[in-house]
Amino acid sequence: MIDAVSFENDTLGYLDQRFLPLKEEYIKTKSHLEAIEAIKTLAVRGAPLIGIVAGYTVILGLNSYQGTKDEFPLYFEKLIQDVEASRPTAVNLFFATACMKAVYDTSFTSDSLEELFAKMLVAARKIHTDEIANCDAMARHGVELIRHDLAETLKTRKLNVLTHCNTGTLATGGSGTALGVIKQAWQEGLIEKVITAESRPLLQGLRLTAWELETENIPFLSISDSSSAFLMQKGMIDFGIVGADRIAANGDTANKIGTFAHAVSAAAHNIPYYIAAPVSTIDITIEDGSHIPIEERSADELRTIFGTQVATPSTPVLNYAFDVTPNQYIRGIVTDKKAVVGNYAEDLKKLIT
Ligand SMILES: CSC[C@H]1O[C@H](OP(=O)(O)O)[C@H](O)[C@@H]1O
């Protein structure tokens, strides 16, 4: 499996995703500031992986601390603020900092800084190992749901599945969320072909998902984001499954920009459209998708393509990195605990408690 992230000898290691698949560069750093920049620039990306790296980034910040225990609370507060300011939408990042703050709240008074830091490292490693295990559980629940919902089609042929952005090992450290379900479905002989939407402007689908599928010898076709409706109309897509960066209590889901457009097209063609995400991506504190903070990114992500200017530098741009798919477009939400179908407000809450 691709090695997306590691933490050994107080050093964060990660595969820089900005130039994959043409350039593979594994970065190692002890600097929390460099780690924060890696999240900001999508050198590391993908909601669960962002959460894993955020946890390790806090550890790097702790290792840089030179002050006294009395001075530590202010330093820790600033460290958490800086990590949380790196990207706003993927709730996994805030799940990771909440885990660190929980250790602080429980142990700061009673423990030495050394003991406190050791406990936070355990918490950071747990986030990492949990997300890997979550992928395997999601894969099982997702395949079970697909076998049920697509049973009629499966009587006569294998399935063609649409996915968007990258939700595989490069986004999770494990087999993946949506792509993990797809990989497992392929292993079980259910998949004919994967249709991976390029995911403009940073092309996570064309670059990263394609690379993962090629690496695993899974047949796929890359398409432009705007092609999905046409392929659905031609009967070339049997279901869609995508990831999530934040799921509201009612099931409304924020994911890479373009996700909602695929969902509307799927609904128009009566094609089931699923979300796959660990429970750590559910934000039960917000009642619906209108409250999810949507990241706006640099205009140059559209005006240039990997350093080549394709529009004038003065071209006005609106570059939302995510959109929100209302729950009525979602046939089911596959989590590590179970697949939730409909009745999201009630059933998602049960997963959290
Ligand atoms: C495993 S879900 C990953 C999720 O994160 C991606 O966003 P980004 O590449 O900007 O971090 C995309 O929304 C994926 O669905």
Per the structure, the complete domain to which residue 235 belongs is given by: 137-352
| For range 104-110, the mean pLDDT | 98
Q: Name the residue among 185, 196, 186, 194 with its Cα closest to residue 146.
A: 185
What percent of the chain clears pLDDT 90, i.e. is strictly above it?
Answer: 97
Q: Do 120 and 37 share a structural domain?
A: yes
Asked if 283 is an active-site residue, the reply is no
**Per-residue pLDDT, 18:** 97
| Amino acid 325: pLDDT | 98
Taking residues 142-171, what's their average pLDDT?
98
Same-domain status, 211 and 234:
yes
Nearest protein Cα to ligand 1, atom 15 = 243
Together in a domain, 340 and 226: yes
CA of 143 to the centre of ligand 1 (A): 21
> Is pLDDT above 80 for 242?
yes
255 is in an annotated binding site: yes
> Of ligand 1's atoms, which has the minimum distance to the CA of residue 167?
1
- What interface predicted TM-score (ipTM) does this complex get? 0.96
What mean pLDDT, rounded, does the chain reach? Answer: 97
Which tens digits make up the pLDDT trace of 72-102? 999 999 999 999 999 999 999 999 999 999 9
What is the domain count for the chain? 2
What's the pTM? 0.97
Res 84: pLDDT: 98
Query: Are 141 and 127 within one domain?
Result: no
**Count of CB atoms within 10 A of residue 10's CB?**
12
In angstroms, the CA 289 to CA 252 distance is: 5
- Which CATH number belongs to the domain containing residue 269 in this structure? 3.40.50.10470
Which residue among 85, 105, 131 closes a domain?
A: 131
236 — pLDDT class (breaks 50, 70, 90): very high
Task: For residue range 262-271, list pLDDT tens digits in order.
Answer: 999 999 999 9
Domain identity same for 327 and 187? yes
Span 132-142, average pLDDT: 98
Residues 30 and 91 in one domain: yes
163 shares a domain with 29: no
Ligand 1 atom having least distance to the Cα of 171: 1
Q: Of the candidates 256, 223, 254, 278, which has an alpha carbon nearest to the alpha carbon of residue 330?
A: 254
pLDDT at 353: 72
Q: Are residues 143 and 258 in the same domain?
A: yes
Express each pLDDT in 299-308 by its tens digit: 999 999 989 9
**SS3 assignment, position 100:** helix
Please confirm whether the linkage preceding 21 is cis (ω < 30° from 0): yes
Tell which of 85, 109, 131 closes a domain. Answer: 131
Residue nearest to atom 6 of ligand 1 (CA): 46
Is residue 94 located within the same domain as residue 242?
Answer: no
Residues in the ligand 1 pocket, defined by CB under 6 Å: 42, 45-48, 165, 167, 171-172, 177, 204, 242-243, 245, 255-256, 321
How far apart are the CA of 171 and the centre of ligand 1, in A?
7
Same domain, yes or no: 103 and 208: no
Q: Of 107, 131, 155, which residue constitutes the final position of a domain?
A: 131
pLDDT of 1 > 80? The answer is no
H or E element, residue 125: helix 113-149
